[in-house]
């Protein structure tokens, strides 16, 4: 069978599975909708957390950005892995013991202020919508190639599927769907990695294979370094980022992890505090399987791509290349008119995406405008690395279709968690807690579902018009989370002196300066239409790493303001002291 038929079969089966689970586990109360009734086992919650955590950025984007950035891409591995450890050890058990449904709920009660709650809701919406844009783009990329539809159409299909089980099942449906999605995505990620590792080095363990020698006796990393330097690229194992930027990006990803509302809320779905600790351990194990394999996938993919296309006649190029061209995610223009593909340093085009003409040149040219002065002739979207890798390596069609199903599972699992955060922030934290505290449980549930519908529409828009590649878009969300939530949560747990004034002004300052920096240097807004070069960054810090600066500003403003204003009430100080006491913690129950 061809790839498309296999894709329809495998993706259709997985979608039917997700929808069936949503119907089976549909929510009948707000507690079911928000925290799955608080009765999820640690193992199931660990699987669901891993799926929630490993988004399209992990499945599609991370290997892609490592493949094209080499050593510099390691910041994503260090930041996201270290961040989860930080969350599991430093915050999750204490937040679970506090016993609130959402992060804005925690901030509103801890800082005894609806203003603080509202600021937290705004921050949650900022973070979630930025993050979900990357997931929707990932869905569109997968569908565009394997179902032969436009990227925009792929986003619409993904919106419909995720809305169904988020709308119907809430957190209960999402949790058990994510358990299935983890199984799909990890199987889909590992199978081609094992295949290619055996083909390239004879070693079936990808984590060892990419550091091993091939049949020619040359270590794979040395071979890739040679391929890249021969063509004028920086050696794959050498970094180009400054130590300052590497530190700030890694810190932003770590601290942003600890402030991600859709991950934190997962720890409210287990019965006891000790179960939160157990599920965190399970999740870390499940996450490590993919994260330790991603660098191997990146090395295999970059090596295969360069050996397959460099200086090859376009007329002899494999079929997979042409099919990806049809999606607009690969493009070539014959700048020197020799009929061969020249993959060299530099940009092939001016702009993020190529434009296409109905009539192609006789050599198959697809780019028709603004040719760059640089000699590179090939445009490759980083987000296709994992998806295209099995095709480049010539793996069976069912493996290629399986990877497509895995990419969809990763994107949809995280998108569902984010949509739940958005809907609960509006229905529970804004309406129930502030605007209409007397509404019934049934009415609140209806508002939550309507909020999910609106969230899907907005998420679809950002998926169709994303500000960058999947991994870089998600990195911006982590920066926003680091600059807004992390200081407020940490000081809310460990500082009895931190008051509402400090938390409010700190969150506003951190979120404000980080949003400004991203808008100016990533999106090209605010008087910077050309999006300044590296030389214009403040202190040499990229937009992906500026969340660390925002976090420091948040801490500084909060501490200064709180030191000049009235201390929290006695009952709040007692709450802070109580949530840090481990005695009888195992008996603590939910909301």
Angle at 44 between CA 41 and CA 47, to 5 degrees: 145
Residue 90 pLDDT exceeds 50:
yes
Q: State the Cα–Cα distance between residues 531 and 374, nearest whole angstrom.
A: 20
Assigned CATH topology for domain 3-298+396-467: Sodium/glucose cotransporter (1.20.1730)
The answer to whether 374 and 314 are in contact (CB under 8 A) is no
Higher pLDDT: 316 or 273? It is: 316
- pLDDT, residue 552, reads 95
- Overall pTM surpassing 0.75 (yes/no): yes
pLDDT band of 503, cuts 50, 70, 90: very high
Higher pLDDT: 482 or 412? It is: 482
**DSSP string of 349-409?**
BSSSS----SSPPTT-----S-B-SSS--EEE-GGGHHHHHHHHTT--HHHHHHHHHHHHH
Tokens of 204: 């079936």
- pLDDT, residue 369, reads 45
- pLDDT, residue 365, reads 46
CA separation, residue 508 to residues 108, 495, 512 (Å): 15, 19, 6
- pLDDT, residue 194, reads 92
Higher pLDDT: 197 or 257? It is: 197
Give 127-141 pLDDT, tens digit per residue: 777 777 777 777 777
- Number of alpha helices (DSSP H) and beta strands (DSSP E) in the chain: 24, 2
Residue 167 pLDDT exceeds 70:
no
Question: Computed from CA positions of residues 512, 513, 515, 519, in that sequence, does the dihedral angle turn out positive or negative?
Answer: positive
The position carrying tokens 């179902």 is 147
Q: Closest Cα to residue 332, out of 301, 303, 305, 356?
A: 356
Angle at 558 between CA 98 and CA 91, to 5 degrees: 30
Tokens of 483: 């600059």
Tokens of 441: 């449980």
Residue 313 pLDDT exceeds 50:
yes
Q: Compute the half-sphere exposure of residue 588: CA atoms within 13 Å on the CB side of its CA.
A: 27
User: Torsion angle, CA of 240/135/396/309, rounded to 10 degrees?
Assistant: -40
Residue 329 pLDDT exceeds 60:
yes
pLDDT band of 509, cuts 50, 70, 90: very high
Residue 372 pLDDT exceeds 70:
no
The answer to whether 67 and 234 are in contact (CB under 8 A) is no
Give 439-478 pLDDT, tens digit per residue: 877 787 788 778 878 877 877 777 777 655 455 566 677 7
- pLDDT, residue 452, reads 77
Tokens of 24: 């089976």
Q: Closest Cα to residue 101, out of 115, 89, 119, 117?
A: 117
Q: Closest Cα to residue 212, out of 223, 204, 201, 222?
A: 201
Give 230-265 pLDDT, tens digit per residue: 878 888 888 788 888 889 989 988 888 776 777 777
Higher pLDDT: 429 or 558? It is: 558
The position carrying tokens 């928000």 is 34
Q: Which residues pair with 340 in a beta bridge?
A: 313
Give 26-82 pLDDT, tens digit per residue: 655 555 565 555 567 888 888 888 887 777 777 877 888 888 888 888 888 888 788
Q: State the Cα–Cα distance between residues 275 and 254, nearest whole angstrom.
A: 23
Q: What is the DSSP letter of 235?
A: P
Q: Compute the half-sphere exposure of residue 77: CA atoms within 13 Å on the CB side of its CA.
A: 21
- pLDDT, residue 589, reads 42
The answer to whether 35 and 269 are in contact (CB under 8 A) is yes
Q: What is the mean pLDDT of the chain?
A: 79
The answer to whether 246 and 544 are in contact (CB under 8 A) is no
The answer to whether 555 and 487 are in contact (CB under 8 A) is yes
Three-class secondary structure of residue 313 per DSSP: strand
Domain boundaries, the chain: 3-298+396-467, 302-392
Q: Which residues pair with 349 in a beta bridge?
A: 371
Residue 168 pLDDT exceeds 80:
no
CA separation, residue 534 to residues 139, 496, 523, 543 (Å): 30, 41, 14, 10
Q: State the Cα–Cα distance between residues 450 and 358, nearest whole angstrom.
A: 41
The answer to whether 352 and 386 are in contact (CB under 8 A) is no
């Amino acid at each position: 069978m061809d790839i498309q038929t296999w894709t329809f079969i495998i993706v259709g089966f997985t979608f039917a599975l997700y929808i069936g689970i949503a119907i089976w586990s549909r929510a009948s109360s707000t507690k079911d909708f928000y925290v799955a009734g608080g009765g999820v086992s640690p193992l199931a919650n660990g699987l669901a957390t891993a799926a929630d955590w490993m988004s399209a950025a992990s499945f599609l984007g991370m290997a892609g950005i490592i493949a094209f950035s080499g050593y510099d891409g390691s910041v994503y591995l260090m930041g996201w892995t270290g961040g989860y450890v930080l969350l599991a050890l430093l915050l999750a058990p204490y937040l679970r013991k506090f016993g609130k449904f959402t992060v804005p709920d925690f901030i509103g009660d801890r800082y005894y202020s609806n203003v603080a709650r509202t600021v937290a809701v705004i921050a949650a919406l900022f973070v979630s919508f930025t993050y979900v844009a990357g997931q929707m783009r990932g869905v569109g990329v997968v569908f565009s190639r394997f179902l032969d539809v436009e990227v925009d159409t792929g986003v619409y299909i993904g919106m419909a599927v995720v809305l169904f089980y988020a709308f119907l099942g809430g957190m209960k449906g999402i949790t058990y769907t994510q358990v299935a999605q983890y199984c799909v995505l990890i199987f889909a990620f590992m199978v081609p990695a094992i295949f290619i590792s055996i083909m390239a080095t004879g070693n079936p363990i990808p984590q060892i294979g990419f550091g091993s020698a091939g049949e020619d006796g040359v270590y794979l990393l040395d071979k890739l370094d040679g391929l890249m330097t021969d063509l004028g690229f920086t050696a794959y194992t050498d970094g180009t980022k400054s130590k300052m930027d590497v530190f700030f990006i890694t810190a932003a990803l770590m601290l942003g992890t600890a402030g991600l509302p859709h991950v934190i809320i997962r720890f409210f779905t287990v019965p006891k505090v000790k179960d939160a600790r157990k599920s965190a351990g399970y999740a870390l194990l499940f996450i490590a399987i993919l994260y330790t394999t991603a660098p191997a996938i990146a090395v295999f993919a970059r090596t295969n791509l360069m050996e397959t296309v460099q200086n090859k006649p376009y007329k002899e190029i494999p079929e997979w290349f042409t099919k990806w061209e049809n999606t607009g995610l690969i493009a070539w223009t014959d700048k020197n008119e020799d009929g061969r593909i020249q993959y060299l340093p530099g940009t092939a085009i001016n702009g993020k995406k190529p434009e296409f003409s109905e009539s192609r040149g006789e050599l198959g040219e697809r780019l028709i405008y603004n040719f760059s002065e640089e000699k590179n002739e090939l445009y490759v979207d980083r987000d296709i690395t994992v998806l295209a890798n099995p095709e480049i390596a010539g793996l069976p069609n069912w493996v290629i279709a399986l990877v497509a199903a895995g990419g969809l599972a990763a994107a949809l699992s995280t998108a569902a968690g984010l949509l739940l955060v958005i809907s609960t922030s509006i229905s529970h934290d804004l309406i129930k807690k502030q605007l209409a505290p007397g509404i019934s449980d049934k009415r609140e549930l209806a508002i939550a579902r309507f909020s999910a519908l609106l969230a899907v529409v907005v998420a679809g828009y950002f998926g169709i018009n994303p500000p960058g590649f999947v991994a870089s878009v998600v990195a911006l969300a982590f920066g926003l989370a680091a600059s807004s939530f992390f200081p407020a949560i940490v000081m809310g747990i460990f500082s009895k002196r931190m008051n509402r004034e400090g938390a409010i002004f700190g969150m506003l300052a951190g979120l404000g300066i980080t949003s400004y920096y991203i808008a100016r240097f990533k999106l090209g807004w605010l008087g910077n239409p050309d999006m300044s070069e590296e030389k214009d960054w403040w202190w040499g810090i990229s937009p992906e790493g500026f969340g660390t600066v925002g976090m420091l500003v948040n801490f500084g403003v909060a501490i200064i303001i709180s030191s000049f204003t009235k201390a929290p009430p006695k009952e709040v100080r007692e709450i802070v002291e109580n949530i840090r006491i481990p005695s009888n913690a195992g008996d603590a129950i939910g909301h």
